[in-house]
A and B are shown apart, each in its own frame.
Chain A
Amino acid sequence: MGQYGIGQPVRRKEDVRLLTGKGRYTDDIHFDGQLWAAFFRSPHAHAKINAIHSQAALSVPGVRHVFTGDDLRQGGMKPIVADINFTDRAGNKMFKPLRHILPSDRACYVGEPLVMVLGDSPEAARAGAEVIDIDFETLPNVTSTAKAASPHAYVIHPEHGSNVAVHWENSASDEVDALIAAAPHKVKIHLVNNRLIVAPMEPRCAVATYDETQDLITLYSPTQGVRPAQVSFAGLLGIDKKKLRVISLDVGGGFGIRSKRYPETAAVAWAAKQIKRPVKWRGDRSETFVSDHHGRDQVNDAIMGLDQNGRVIALRVETIVNVGAYSGDNGPRLPIDGGGRIIPCGYDIEKFYFSVKPVYTNTVPTDTYRGAGRPEANFIMERLMDAAAQECGLTRDEIRRRNLIPLSKMPYRTQMNFVYDSGDFIGTMDKTLELADWNGFAVRRKESEKRGKLRGIGLASFVEQAGGRPTEEMRVKIDANGRATVFAGTFSHGQGHETVYAQMVNDYLGIDFDEIDFVQGDTDTTPPGGVGTFGSRSSMMGGVAIRRSCGQIIVKGKKIAAHLLQADPDTVIYENGLFRVGVSSITIQEVARAASDPAKLPEGLKPGLDESNLFEREPDMNNFPNGCHICEVEVDPDLGTIQIVKYTALDDCGVVLNPLIVHGQVYGGVAQGIGQALTEDAVYDEESGQLLTGSFMDYGMPRAHHLSMIEAHFTDDQPCKTNDLGVKGAGEAGACGAPPAFVSAVCDALSPYGIQHIDMPLTPERVWSAIAQAKAHQAA
């Protein structure tokens, strides 16, 4: 393995381009003659639409077209039907309201796009959108997650009779309830998992062109995988997918919200074909706040029963998840499948009851956001364990030591029928305690006290599941000059695939790092079985497919080498770019050159050194990243402000392909987790249904000064046993570990006041109020 091989901290190929302003994001492209799109969005959380008047808009100079949803539907646009089906235990199916693109009858959330205006300039389009006049009849609205689930709540989709889409349960609850009732120790918690704005730094943008001679729409938009987007949008437009080319250029962050069926993107693609001109929509940040899917937003009630030794006997978790006004493809899936398949995470608990009620509200639909159900599930378990430690008189690490699945039980089949193939959860926790100098904390606490600060230390153990969809296709081609190209079905939007895949090809085929090119993000060249990047899947899915493609190249290369060396193919040995028979050898470059010349090939072998692999993962081939994070904070008791002063992470990502990049994924995931726990909250006004946190002015994105340096370590003795590379995902672990580690630390800092929990985000106001209340209580 050379300096550019697997496992090396190779600097990224992507960087020079991006550092010198040569990145190409969707808003960077213009087409001659393009019209600009702007959308009139609902100012009401819930309202009937009685009439739409476009006259004034059409009279604005520069405005060329005004399209309502009725125009789109007459032009073939289909409604969005969520691709989920859950049933309750009686077999009743989940209710899914139809979501029309630019609805003409009813607006269901503030920001819902209702009318599209096309103009010669962005200013003209916007000016036109501003004078769209709609006769609204406002209706009552509900935005609160907990309230929407109540039987007395206003029902936003009257045809269903309830806001609850379905009452999903994993089983009957009698056994678990009885066990908990009889348990010597019980802990009960109520959690709010706060709604978040995902906010990747590139605001969403869509550009569409139409080629009349080919009847082909080309859609440029940030996605996390062009092939599923092609299928989705072709379906909405009612056209054959061959008539829609999807291109994602450089994408400025994804975090789970990119590849969705967004109305604006569909409308832009439709319009280009309708008017036979290029159409461009550039979203404002404030627009994306009310149009990109939101994340999280759950209310969890959990009870755990433990025995005299602090061993969990049974667990009951009830979750309400706020789906938003309509179900996206994932909203309800996140607690049920995402969280549900992982609860009770790393703990050896056999008896548990899990209930989920997805509810509809007049809010932006929620969907996958970094971790997609697993951060929420881990947060429940970790808060329960901290509470159990208190209840049973054990330390926070000891209660976990007694309940984490021990190494001796690996591989471990969970109640949801998944198999944890590997992972030393207790060993990892113990190592992290050492790395973080857990035992030396008391000294540091005293030092902070001298400066008037309350210091706390928090611990979180987590397990999450990576892999996402079970198929992926990658293609590796070596041209006649020995230059390699990787055609990826995955889609890098910050993860450095151009670099990591090149490291792999360098390692497997001995081709120079600088002689390896990378192609992604265009349905014309992306392998047909390509899926994309989400759910921390690319190292396993893309990686295994590349490895197998390279393996196929070696097999074919041996046949060509054997022919050239006039030897039996079975005697050819391949190693590091050389095909060897005895003392004779041929380089892979020479094989590649020969491969392009039919005269040099054995009988029946097609020319070219160009292999694709469609990797289909077996059902048991998931991978389970896991780890332990320890956070130390200082709280100013007079102001309620919190500063992170130390953060230690030990992550089990299996085999690490590029330490620089994997470290970066941990840092980024932790930062988003800290964002949720410390500064971020998407807040709706309960009366009006308005999104109060409508821009970066009011929505607390974490800044550099909110974080400390993260000491990130990786295990090196727990390779994944279920894939060729031994990799586990790395992208979402931080989002699972950080919130509970942080909250645990703050509660530890505030333990003199007897504070057991504060809901996220732990703003200065919430911390200060909790202290004030505790003081008043103690005085009384």
Chain B
Amino acid sequence: MNITLTVNGQTLTRDVAPYLLLADFLRDELRLTGTHVGCDTTQCGCCIIHLNEKAVKSCTMLAVQADGAQLTTIEGLARADGTLHPVQEAFRDHHGLQCGFCTPGMVMMGADIVRRLPGADEETIRHQLEGNICRCTGYQGIVEAIMDASSQAKAS
């Protein structure tokens, strides 16, 4: 099936099998391997991208469902000149990553939280992260990073 979609600002058309998951389309077809697959039951959140400005688990969508959509993956979050998104910068400051595998999904979810909930408190952010699993950090650096970016968003 032919799909046309915009990924990180680039519009493209591809012929894909109807059963192909969006995550596999991004990783295997477009070679955008920043989006990760960490589970097979939609629990872990490593695959989170932005689809039409909403955080979505790309492992739980078919590529054909993204026809006509605007996608941003982790590769497209920073600006073209390399300036990091405030959430990415905050993760650096607060040691919000160790092995980096859950990080793309955490950052995309974090950016979504910051957009929807500027000035969110710790408890809110912890609950907003229910769909993201991290095994390395104990979530502390991640929560601190998102709190920081969220409070910056409120201030601006």
Contacts and interface: CB of A to CB of B under 8 A. Distances in A.
A24 B35 CA distance: 11
Interface string A127-171: 000000000000000000000000000000000000000000000
Interface string A668-684: 11111000000000000
Nearest to A701: B133
Interface in B29-73: 32-41, 43-44, 46, 73
A15 B97 contact: yes
Given A16-B92, A201-B101, A667-B137, A701 B43 contact: yes
Interface of A is mostly: loop
A710 interface: yes
B130 interface: yes
Nearest to A673: B138
Contacts of B135: 199-201, 253, 255, 668, 672, 701
A18 B141 CA distance: 15
Interface string A263-297: 00000000000000000000011100000000000
Given A21-B35, A664-B95, A250 B100 contact: yes
Of the four ranges (under 10, 10 to 19, 20 to 34, 35 or more), the interface on chain B belongs to: 35 or more
A664 B141 contact: yes
Interface in B72-129: 73-75, 77-78, 84, 88, 91-93, 95, 97-104, 107, 122-123, 125-127, 129
B133 A201 contact: yes
Interface string A193-226: 0000001111100000000000000000000000
Contacts of A669: 138
Contacts of A20: 34, 74-75, 77-78, 84, 88
Interface in A284-326: 284-286
Interface residues of A, number: 56
A15 B92 contact: yes
B38 A704 contact: no
A11 B89 CA distance: 11
A697 interface: yes
Contacts of A648: none
A77 B142 CA distance: 45
A179 interface: no
A492 to B, nearest CB: 9
B143 interface: yes
Contact of B43 (A696, A707, A710): A696
A252 interface: yes
Contact of A668 (B40, B129, B136): B136
A252 B99 contact: yes
A23 B46 CA distance: 13
Given A21-B34, A284-B40, A14 B95 contact: no
Interface string A506-534: 00000000000000000000000000000
A521 B134 CA distance: 23
Nearest to A200: B135
Contacts of A496: 98
Contacts of A703: 126, 129-130, 132-133, 139
Interface of B: 19, 27-28, 32-41, 43-44, 46, 73-75, 77-78, 84, 88, 91-93, 95, 97-104, 107, 122-123, 125-127, 129-130, 132-143
10 closest A-B pairs by beta carbon, nearest first, are A21-B34, A252-B101, A671-B138, A18-B100, A494-B99, A667-B138, A494-B98, A696-B43, A28-B33, A21-B74
Given A253-B136, A667-B141, A696-B41, 9 more contacts: A14-B100, A19-B92, A493-B99, A660-B95, A663-B140, A671-B137, A671-B138, A672-B138, A709-B143
